[in-house]
């Protein structure tokens, strides 16, 4: 049984994180990740990888359970 992992935003915990594979004129540029979640706007060299089963738990911790 393989573990499914998901990349999430280190700022808001959203799984809408995207990778930008940028290579400018043949130069090797470090991969940057950015978050598509509205109101977040994270962009940087790191992302968080979590197991799919733990995503819910992690988001609750990051966001804080309201209600």
Residue whose C-alpha is closest to residue 44's, from 35, 57, 55: 35
* Residues touching Zn ion, count (CB under 5 A): 8
Q: Is 37 a binder of Zn ion (CB under 5 A)?
A: yes
Closer residue to Zn ion, CB minimum distance, 7 or 52: 7
CA angle 12, 30, 49 (to 5 degrees): 35
Nearest distance, CB of residue 38 and Zn ion, angstroms: 9
Residues at the interface with Zn ion (CB under 5 A): 9, 11-12, 14, 35, 37, 40, 42
């Amino acid at each position: 049984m393989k573990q499914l992992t998901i990349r999430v935003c280190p700022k808001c915990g959203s799984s809408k994180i995207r990778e930008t594979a940028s290579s400018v004129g043949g130069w090797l540029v470090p991969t940057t990740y950015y978050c598509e979640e509205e109101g977040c706007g994270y962009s940087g060299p790191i992302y968080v990888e979590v197991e799919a089963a733990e995503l819910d738990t992690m988001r609750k911790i990051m966001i804080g359970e309201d209600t």
